[in-house]
Structure 1
Amino acid sequence: MNYGLLIVIAVGLSLAMTAAWAIQRKTGASGWIDTIWSFAIGIGGLVVILAAEGTFERRVAAFLIVAIWSIRLGSHIGSRTKGGGEDPRYAKLVEEWGTKAGRRLFQFLQIQALAGFILVLAVYVAASNGSEFPGILDIAGIIVALVALGGEALSDRQLAHFRKKPEAKTEVCEEGLWRYSRHPNYFFEWLFWCAWPLLALTGSSPWSWAALLAPALMYWLLVHASGIPPLEEHMLRSRGEKFRSLQRRVNAFFPGPRKEEE
């Protein structure tokens, strides 16, 4: 375990989120926060993969998976933000914090930097796995990662298509994957981080178990903290009964059969 490198990564993530804070305060566009977060984790992940001691084939696979994830997600959020889309989650937080918004947002983004470090750590221990590649768990991990990348890209595209329709200002999206989960993009983002324990746990290092922190953390963030709760609060304010009806019929996170309203 290269502790010196991990310290550099931690400092780098903290500085990246400090830059995200400064950009948000200057532009008022909070969407750049998640854009920078995605690219910062991607860069951190690629750096630790290059420094990892796993087999060459394992590190190549991990490198490609992280690069695709970071470029796609960061570009998607950045394009949406550049087009004028504001993230209602951050907008609501800034409004609630009032005159303390600057300080509170800075603290919040440093917590995100810590979360990003845990995700990069999972990538590092997976890439440091010295066992022969690919094993059964490795193949399963790659399949999970590819399904997650494809599912998240598809759900983002379906939502973007819906938002171009005139009715999007008053209706809720129930197209494609959005018929079976209220937040399929969040589900597939969580699923992506489930791949890293599979790639790590065949190794003999006691640090391999640290990869389990990534999906656990991402689930908590998306389902209980900064993901679904503030976004659904916004949707209830803006869509009212239409969104309440969706809540009764469609699972919040895990895709599943639609329910009939009573």
Structure 2
Amino acid sequence: MSDGALFLLGWGLAALALLLAWAWQQRTHDASAVDAVWAAVMGALALLHAALGSGDGARRLALALLGGAWAARLALHLLRDRVLGKPEDGRYRRLRAWFGARAGLGFFAYFQAQALAAAVFALPFLAVAQSPGRPPAAALAAAVALWALAVTGESLADRQLAAWRADPAQRGRSCRAGLWRYSRHPNYFCEWLHWFTYPLLAWGGPGVWLALLGPALMLATLLGVTGIPHTERQALASRGEDYRAYQRETSRFVPWFPRSTPRRDA
């Protein structure tokens, strides 16, 4: 299947999945599930591209295993953390209030924008799946090692944050346990690191430059769009001076040693 046809097929399937999620949102008046659905769609696109791509079988098998497992873990985490038994996420409550009487149409457009984003974020999967020739053994080994490091780190950060939140003694305080001592967003850092898996899987093929779009897009999203800016606004609103102190002491993104002498964050 050609690159263009595979991209359009993936976009169409993402649009259908997000249409069903939008219909559920219309019934429940809770849009929080969109994040978990998006992660599940990404896993489905990894499997789709691996199955229908025309590239090397070893590359496609690695894509199916690594991309599918990453997305499954993320989708299940988001489902437990933000959806099951939880009120609607603050982002979506604010969007619902902003849309007002046009909330149905507004969320339809938002959910379909997420479908397009999924298709674009899946371009690194497409690059891997269409790359001919066996990948260099060193690149394949590096991809697996990096994936394991990133996904393990993200999972660990998620568990550490959940344990901190479950401790009544830490209520109102910013998490400084484990990886959170070295970065204010270690889960986001590990998520970004994970996206370098796909350029490594595409190494030696003509699509390696397209695969680099993954980490570039994820970095831009985390630093400037829906990741860190939203999370830090929420933290400042709920934890105030404690979070401001945490900002002064702790690296914003890349893990580093805490500052012994607080200074303005760069």
Question: What's the TM-score once normalised by structure 2's chain length?
Answer: 0.90
The answer on whether the counterparts of 1:53 and 1:128 sit within 8 Å (CA) in structure 2 is: yes
**2:70 aligned residue:** 69
**1:10 aligned residue:** 11
Deviation at 1:168, TM superposition (A): 4.2
The residue type paired with residue 24 of structure 2 is: I
Q: CA RMSD in A?
A: 1.9
The residue type paired with residue 44 of structure 2 is: I
Where 2:55 maps in the other structure, the secondary structure is coil
**2:137 aligned residue:** 135
**2:244 aligned residue:** 244
Distance 1:250 1:93 in 2: 30
The answer on whether the counterparts of 2:7 and 2:126 sit within 8 Å (CA) in structure 1 is: no
The residue type paired with residue 128 of structure 1 is: Q
Distance 1:209 1:123 in 2: 12
Instruction: List aligned pairs for 1:1-262, cutoff 5 A.
Output: 1-80=2-81, 81-84=83-86, 86-203=88-205, 205=206, 207-259=207-259, 260-261=261-262
The residue type paired with residue 174 of structure 1 is: R
Deviation at 1:115, TM superposition (A): 1.8
Distance 1:231 1:90 in 2: 13
Evaluate the alpha carbon distance shift between residue 169 and residue 86 of structure 1 in structure 2; reply closer, same or farther with a 3 A threshold: farther
Deviation at 1:247, TM superposition (A): 0.8
Evaluate the alpha carbon distance shift between residue 86 and residue 256 of structure 1 in structure 2; reply closer, same or farther with a 3 A threshold: farther
Question: What's the TM-score once normalised by structure 1's chain length?
Answer: 0.91
The answer on whether the counterparts of 1:201 and 1:209 sit within 8 Å (CA) in structure 2 is: no
The answer on whether the counterparts of 1:115 and 1:217 sit within 8 Å (CA) in structure 2 is: no
Deviation at 1:252, TM superposition (A): 1.7
Distance 2:33 2:170 in 1: 23
Distance 1:178 1:251 in 2: 9
Deviation at 1:244, TM superposition (A): 0.7
Evaluate the alpha carbon distance shift between residue 42 and residue 157 of structure 1 in structure 2; reply closer, same or farther with a 3 A threshold: same
The residue type paired with residue 155 of structure 2 is: A
Deviation at 1:86, TM superposition (A): 4.2
- Structure 1's consecutive aligned runs of 4 or more residues displaced over 6 angstroms after TM superposition are none
Distance 1:54 1:87 in 2: 40
Deviation at 1:142, TM superposition (A): 2.0
Structure 1 gap segments, 5+ residues each: none
Distance 2:99 2:10 in 1: 30
1:97-118 residue CA offsets vs partner (Å, 9 max, x unmatched): 4444433333233222222112
Distance 2:122 2:201 in 1: 14
The answer on whether the counterparts of 1:89 and 1:231 sit within 8 Å (CA) in structure 2 is: no
Worse-matched range after superposition: 166-175 or 90-99:
90-99
Where 2:175 maps in the other structure, the secondary structure is coil
Distance 1:239 1:131 in 2: 53
Structure 2 gap segments, 5+ residues each: none
1:16-39 residue CA offsets vs partner (Å, 9 max, x unmatched): 222222323322333311111011
The residue type paired with residue 79 of structure 1 is: R
Distance 2:138 2:121 in 1: 23
Number of residue pairs the alignment of both structures matches: 260
**% of aligned pairs identical?**
37
